[in-house]
Structure 1
C-alpha cells in the first residue's frame, strides 16, 4: 500500500508499522533507506506465519538483523521508549478501517508516541473499500477517520488521492508540509511526482 515517500521527511529514529501484513512496506523502506529501523505490529499470528512461508519474511529478517522487529499483538498499543520518528498505519478488519480510527482519542494516543518532528502516514481507504458490513461505507468511514485525525492534528493534515476517481483510495499524512523541492530531491525518480499531489484536508 505505502510507497517509500516517508523517511526523507522524518527526523532520525525508528519507524513503526501498524498492520504489518506480509511486510511489503517494510521491505521497500529497508531496501531504500539503509539507516532506518522498523518495528512492525500485526494482530493476527496467522498473517505473520503466511508471510514467513510464502512472502519471504524469514529471509527479510535474516537480511536485516537489528533493523527489523516484528510483534504479534494489538497495534494500537504500539510504543517504544524513545518514540517513533514515523508511524505507518494500515489497519483494516473485515474489509473496513478499524472503527477505533474514527475516534480522536486513538490519534491523540498515537501522536504521543512520536518524537519531535515525527509524522503519521495512514491508509484511510476510500470509496473503493468494500466492507463485509454494508453499513460501513468506505467513503464515509474515510471521511470520519480524517475528521477524527483533524481534531488532533489540526491544519497539519494532508491527503493524497490515488486511483481513477477523486476519492478512490487515499493516504493521509500529518505534520507541516515540508519543502517540496527538497523532498523531491530526496526521492527516487519514480516517486517524485507524488509530492505535488498532497493537498490540505478540508471537511
Structure 2
C-alpha cells in the first residue's frame, strides 16, 4: 500500500513540473505527451492534466506505473495461457507490450478509435506491433459486433476505453456487455478498468451482474480505479489461486506487479453485493448521461 501512495505522490509532483514534448488536436481530443525526469505520460485534455492515460519510466519501460494496470493482471489468476487477447482502448500500449512479452505466441488485437493515439503510442511509448500484435482504428463496439458476426472468440478481453475521465456511454450498457460476452471463449475472462467511487458505481455493478452473473472486484486502495473480472463460470478455490500466485509471481515481478498482494484485493460479489437490488441497469436507452439528471 505504501508504494502505491508513493507512486500517487510522484504523479502529482509530475503534473506540477512536467514539460510538454508533444501536443496535437486529433478528431476526438487534445493529446499531450509530458515528461518530468524519468517519467513520460500521455494525457488527453489540457483541462484535466492531472489525469494521465498512460505513463512509462524511460529508463525501464517494463516497469508498470499505474495501479490499475497492475490490477488487470489479476485476470491471470482466473485463466491459463491466454492465446487470443482483445484490448479495447490503447493508451500508450503498455498492457499490450507486457502481455506480448509474457505470451509471445498469443494473438493480441488492440482496438482504438483515435488514429492519433496509435501514432503517439508508437512514437513516444515504444508500442510494439508484430505479426502477432496488431492495432485497428475502430470504435470498440463496432469491432465487437463484427467479431461476433465472424464467430471470433477471445480468451482475455480487456476493456480500457477511458476517454479522459469517463468511459464512453455506449461501452457501459447491458447490450454492449452482451455483445462482449458473445465473443468470450468458454474459459475466458473479461477485465474492465472502471470506477470504484462515482455515481455510476452501483448502476455499472448492476449491469455487469445482469449480464455475467457474479463477478470479482479487484481493488487495493481506496478511491482508485477498480478492475472488474467477469465471464468466468466458477470461482477458483483458494488453493488454486495460491498455486497460480506462486507460478506468476516471478514472471510478473519485473513489471512491478505484486500478484500476491493483488490476489488479496479480489472480492467476489457472490456474498458481497454492494449495490441495492432495485438499482437501474444501464441500457442503450438509459445511458450514463441520464444519471446526471438526478
TM-score by length of 2: 0.58
Q: Secondary structure at the match of 1:193?
A: helix
Asked if the contact 2:77/2:245 (under 8 Å) is kept, the reply is no
For residues 9 and 186 of structure 1, what CA distance do their matches in structure 2 show?
A: 13
Cα RMSD after superposing both structures: 1.9
Offset of residue 185 of structure 1:
2.5
Offset of residue 81 of structure 1:
4.2
Offset of residue 100 of structure 1:
2.3
Provide the residue aligned with 1:130 in structure 2.
Answer: none
For residues 104 and 75 of structure 2, what CA distance do their matches in structure 1 show?
A: 13
Structure 1 spans left out of the alignment, 5+ residues: 128-138
Mapped pair 1:141 → 2:200: yes
Offset of residue 66 of structure 1:
2.1
Offset of residue 192 of structure 1:
2.1
Provide the residue aligned with 1:173 in structure 2.
Answer: 229
CA-to-partner distance for each residue in 1:57-90, whole Å, 9 max, x for gaps? 2xx22xxx22201101011223264410110001
Asked if the contact 1:16/1:39 (under 8 Å) is kept, the reply is yes
Provide the residue aligned with 1:9 in structure 2.
Answer: 78
CA gap 1:196/1:94 in 2 versus in 1, 3 angstroms? closer
Q: Secondary structure at the match of 2:211?
A: helix
Provide the residue aligned with 2:268 in structure 1.
Answer: 200
Offset of residue 40 of structure 1:
0.6
For residues 84 and 217 of structure 2, what CA distance do their matches in structure 1 show?
A: 23
Please list, as runs of the form range in 1=range in 2, the aligned pairs for 1:1-203 lying within 5 A after superposition: 1-3=68-70, 4-7=73-76, 9-10=78-79, 12-57=82-127, 60-61=128-129, 65-78=130-143, 79=147, 81-127=151-197, 139-155=198-214, 157-163=215-221, 165=222, 167-174=223-230, 175=232, 176-178=234-236, 179-189=240-250, 190-201=258-269, 202=273, 203=275
Structure 2 spans left out of the alignment, 5+ residues: 1-67, 251-257, 276-294
TM-score by length of 1: 0.82
Offset of residue 94 of structure 1:
4.2
Instruction: Point out which structure has higher relative CO (alpha carbons under 8 A, 6+ apart).
Output: 1
For residues 138 and 122 of structure 2, what CA distance do their matches in structure 1 show?
A: 17
Pairs aligned (count): 184
> Which of structures 1 and 2 has the bigger CA Rg?
2
